[in-house]
């Protein structure tokens, strides 16, 4: 099956890729299997930025390698602390230069970070009107339903448990690409005003 991506024809998932996707509980979606909405795809511009907030550098490296394997060429920026994520999003301190640290259209957020954790980042986003609509995918090692419920209550758009191996991380990256970077339309967000910035 052929899916249209702008003016470019792209072959939809089939064969081994389809079989691998079928192993994942969150991969049973028509986008992954090359049916339904995947027939009509509009790619977002390459400048759409992804921000990863995760205190484990080995996990960041795994995700970046999985993005490369999945063909995700969007700019990826990384922070290793919740406080740094807030400062990046607010354009505070060293992150004030938006040419160097552009606003992301998608945040991949770990919950279990020391100090200011992922829940604190979600709370700050909800209290920051200009960034409240930022799309946030929680990507964490926790499968605790209490964490799931709280993350959604605080405004997360999706909750994914980190895969344990590279192959499944690549499949997760492909799902992020096909839905969040191709099909889903990003809301308009803006840099916070001075009164919204962290003190």
Structure tokens that stand for 2 in this block: 């052929």
pLDDT over 90 for what percent of the chain? 63
pLDDT digits (tens, 9 = 90+) for 129-139: 999 999 999 99
Average confidence score pLDDT of the chain: 80
Separation CA 36–CA 22 (nearest Å): 16
Domain extent listing, the chain: 1-43, 45-183
**Class at the top of the CATH hierarchy for domain 45-183:** alpha beta
Structure tokens that stand for 57 in this block: 């550098």
Helix-helix angle 118-126:82-90, to 10 degrees: 30
The answer to whether 181 and 106 are in contact (CB under 8 A) is yes
Cite the beta strand spans of the chain per DSSP E.
Answer: 2-5, 8-11, 40-41, 50-53, 76-79, 106-109, 135-140, 158-161
Confidence at 63, pLDDT banded by 50, 70, 90:
very high
Separation CA 64–CA 77 (nearest Å): 10
β partners of residue 10? 3
pLDDT digits (tens, 9 = 90+) for 91-119: 999 999 989 999 999 999 999 999 999 99
Which single residue is written with the structure tokens 């191709």?
182
């Amino acid at each position: 099956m052929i899916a249209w991506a702008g003016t470019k024809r792209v072959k939809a998932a089939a064969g081994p890729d389809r079989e691998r996707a079928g192993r994942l509980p969150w991969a049973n979606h028509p986008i992954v299997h090359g049916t339904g909405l995947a027939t009509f795809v509009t790619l977002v511009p390459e400048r759409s930025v992804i921000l990863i907030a995760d205190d484990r550098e080995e996990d960041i490296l795994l995700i970046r390698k999985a993005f490369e394997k999945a063909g995700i060429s969007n700019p990826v920026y990384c922070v290793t602390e919740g406080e740094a994520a807030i400062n990046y999003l607010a354009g505070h301190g060293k992150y004030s230069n938006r040419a160097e640290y552009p606003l992301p259209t998608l945040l991949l957020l770990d919950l279990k970070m020391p100090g200011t954790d992922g829940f604190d980042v979600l709370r700050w986003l909800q209290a920051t009107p200009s960034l409240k609509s930022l799309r946030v995918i929680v990507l964490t090692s926790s499968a605790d339903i209490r964490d799931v419920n709280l993350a959604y209550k605080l405004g997360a758009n999706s909750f994914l448990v980190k895969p344990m191996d590279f192959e499944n991380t690549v499949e997760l990256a492909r799902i992020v690409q096909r839905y969040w970077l191709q099909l889903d339309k990003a809301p308009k967000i803006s840099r916070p005003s001075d009164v919204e910035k962290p003190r």
